[in-house]
Amino acid sequence: MTTFDAPAPAAPLPLRRAQPFFIQIPSAIWFLGRDRDYWRLMIRGVALLAVTLGIYRFWLTTDQRRFLWSNTEILGQTLEYTGTAREILIGFLVAIAILVPIYGLIFLATLDLGLIGSLAGIIGFVLLSLLGQFAVYRARRYRLTRTIYRGMRFHQTGSATAFALYALLWWVLVVLTLGLVYPWAQAGIERFKMRNTYLGNLQGRFEGSGGRLFREGFVLWLVTVGPIVLGLVIFATQLDFKLLEDIAANITNEDELKRIFTDNAGILVLLAFGASLLTWPLMTGFLLYPVFQAITMRWWASGLRFGDVAAKSSLRVGQVYGAYLGFLGWTSLVSIMGSFVAAIVAVLVLGVGTATKFFEDAGNLETVGVAGAIGGVMLYVILALVYSATYHVKLKLAVWRMVAQSIDLTNAGTLDTVSSVGAPASPVGEGLADALSVGGY
């Protein structure tokens, strides 16, 4: 009898690799995967995406999830993703069969010149938004039922239609209040999702409060959206609308415009102010997005509950900025390399072409033009794909890892006493989500 007498794997988790930190802080959740393996997966995946004009995405998504799930270790046990590409491909085809008639009807309705025609756009938008939220919920159900932890399946109850209506209502309010109710919308939507989420017989719950997120994020809102509100108020009170109509009426008449502007110098200042207000949220939004992401992720993770198991995230804003800086660094590197290759090729072609008098024939020139256009498109596609791979590895994976590892669990012992419930769900929701481009991990 041969016996492999390795010590029974106990608490210090054997699969964790040495981390580049001097002191290793024990953490409830750990991510085991290495960037190198994800790079390999993503580069191969995006190359195949290009060759198959995107059909390969079902396999790539499945590979990504397998990697992310199986490397996420919670209290010493990793998650397992059991979904297959074949399932989501079939789900997608079913979704197409549902969507094509809907798109067709909307198209036909827009042809009607009467009331229906003018409303078709709005009705179509509302219908597709509802369907989008429906798909978000069903896709989540699919992913949960394909996630297994300690031999227990996750599952999700609740009606996707009810969710779609509920979520859409919140989003309408978010738009109407210029984002002010966003925290309560997120809290409400997460509560809906989590109270319908189960690990075996252990029910989930969301305890993040909208008020808390509001307090944490209000400064962000003030900095990005606040100036717009202020600007709108100033515009509404200060702007001479009669004058604006004059300008619009004389937009092609330069002399008249000149006269209006010399007579009313104030309006130019006001209009310039308005234009700068529009660029402001773009700029601050770009710079502050990592802060926003850090705050919402930390708030979300800290609100997750399963039975009496409670999560608490200690994600720091600096960490998320680090991930973005890393991503920016890598994309700059890729861009520099890309331009370098393009420049070398261009110089070579021009040099050889001039030396051999190849360009003097008009026919040759045309061939070179077409080849150049094809080359340009190819370079663009290759660069875009490398960017996409970089984005997945240096940003999405990095954020996944730092959010996971920022989480601490209390009453984790409960996770030993779950019993099994729940059956796998249909992948149609996932397909709908893909066809409507509302998918995620």
Partner 1 sequence: MTTSGPGIFFDGVTSARHDVTVELSTDTLLVRSVDGRTLADWPYDKIEELSAPQGLLRIGRRGGITLARLEVIEPNLAAAIDDRSVPIDRSGTAARRDRRKVVFWTIAATVSLVLMAIFGVPELATRLAPYVPLGAERRLGAAVDAQIRSLLDDKKAGARFECGNADAEKSARIAFEKLAGELVIAADLPIPIRITVLRKSEANAITLPGGIVYVFQGLIDKSETPDELAGVIAHEFGHVAHRDGTRHVLAHAGTALLFGMLLGDFVGGGAVLIAARTVLQSSYSRDVEATADSYAVNLMEKAEGNGRALGTILDRIAGGSHPIPKVLLDHPETKDRIAAINGMARPAPAKPMLNNTQWAQLKRICSG
Residues 235-254 that bind partner 1 (CB under 8 A): 252
Strand residue runs (E) in 254-331: 304-306, 309-313
Which one of the spans 51-59, 230-238, 239-247, 321-329 is the region binding partner 1 (CB under 8 A)? 51-59
351 contacts partner 1 (rule: CB under 8 A) = no
| 82, 209, 314, 331: residue in contact with partner 1 (rule CB under 8 A) | 82
Nearer to partner 1, 235 or 387 (CB): 387
Nearer to partner 1, 150 or 212 (CB): 150
> Which residue, chain included where needed, has tokens 């998320």?
320
329 contacts partner 1 (rule: CB under 8 A) = no
Site size toward partner 1 (CB under 8 A) is: 79
430 contacts partner 1 (rule: CB under 8 A) = no
> CA 219, CA 211: separation in Å to the nearest integer?
13
- For 177, phi and psi rounded to 5 degrees? -95, 15
| 24, 26, 40, 51: residue in contact with partner 1 (rule CB under 8 A) | 51
User: In the bound complex, what is the minimum distance in angstroms from residue 300's beta carbon to partner 1?
Assistant: 24
440 contacts partner 1 (rule: CB under 8 A) = no
> Which residue, chain included where needed, has tokens 């996770």?
415
| 80, 207, 246, 256: residue in contact with partner 1 (rule CB under 8 A) | 80
Residues 198-217 that bind partner 1 (CB under 8 A): 199-200
| 98, 107, 119, 354: residue in contact with partner 1 (rule CB under 8 A) | 107
Nearer to partner 1, 15 or 272 (CB): 15
How far from 57 is each of 38, 43, 102, CA to CA, in Å?
16, 13, 24
Nearer to partner 1, 44 or 195 (CB): 44
Nearer to partner 1, 91 or 210 (CB): 91
| 87, 190, 430, 434: residue in contact with partner 1 (rule CB under 8 A) | 434
| 329, 337, 381, 411: residue in contact with partner 1 (rule CB under 8 A) | 381
Nearer to partner 1, 82 or 129 (CB): 82
Residues 158-177 that bind partner 1 (CB under 8 A): none
| 71, 293, 302, 405: residue in contact with partner 1 (rule CB under 8 A) | 71
- Residues 6 or more apart from 64 whose CB is under 8 A from it? 41, 42, 45, 392, 441
Angle at 321 between CA 64 and CA 213, to 5 degrees: 90
Angle at 82 between CA 80 and CA 84, to 5 degrees: 140
Nearer to partner 1, 129 or 388 (CB): 388
> CA 169, CA 124: separation in Å to the nearest integer?
16
Residue 41 identity: L
How far from 202 is each of 207, 258, 419, CA to CA, in Å?
16, 72, 8
Which one of the spans 131-139, 155-163, 265-273, 410-418 is the region binding partner 1 (CB under 8 A)? 410-418
Which one of the spans 94-102, 204-212, 258-266, 283-291 is the region binding partner 1 (CB under 8 A)? 94-102
> Encoding tokens for residue 417?
């006493």
Angle at 204 between CA 202 and CA 206, to 5 degrees: 160
Which one of the spans 6-14, 156-164, 172-180, 324-332 is the region binding partner 1 (CB under 8 A)? 6-14
> CA 400, CA 392: separation in Å to the nearest integer?
10
18 contacts partner 1 (rule: CB under 8 A) = no
Nearer to partner 1, 95 or 164 (CB): 95
11 contacts partner 1 (rule: CB under 8 A) = no
Per-residue interface string for the shown chain with partner 1, residues 116-155, x marking contact by CB under 8 A: -x------------------------------xxxxxx--
Complete DSSP assignment for 45-113: HHHHHHHTTTTTHHHHHHHHHHHHHHTEEETTEE-EE---HHHHHHHHHHHHHHHHHHHHHHHHHHH--
| 28, 29, 42, 56: residue in contact with partner 1 (rule CB under 8 A) | 56
- Residues 6 or more apart from 332 whose CB is under 8 A from it? none
How far from 20 is each of 24, 25, 316, 326, 375, CA to CA, in Å?
9, 12, 18, 17, 42
> CA 109, CA 292: separation in Å to the nearest integer?
40
Which one of the spans 70-78, 206-214, 261-269, 325-333 is the region binding partner 1 (CB under 8 A)? 70-78
- For 240, phi and psi rounded to 5 degrees? -90, 100
Assess contact for 16 and 73: CB atoms under 8 A.
Answer: yes
Which one of the spans 96-104, 169-177, 185-193, 304-312 is the region binding partner 1 (CB under 8 A)? 96-104
| 43, 85, 94, 288: residue in contact with partner 1 (rule CB under 8 A) | 85
23 contacts partner 1 (rule: CB under 8 A) = no
Assess contact for 34 and 19: CB atoms under 8 A.
Answer: no
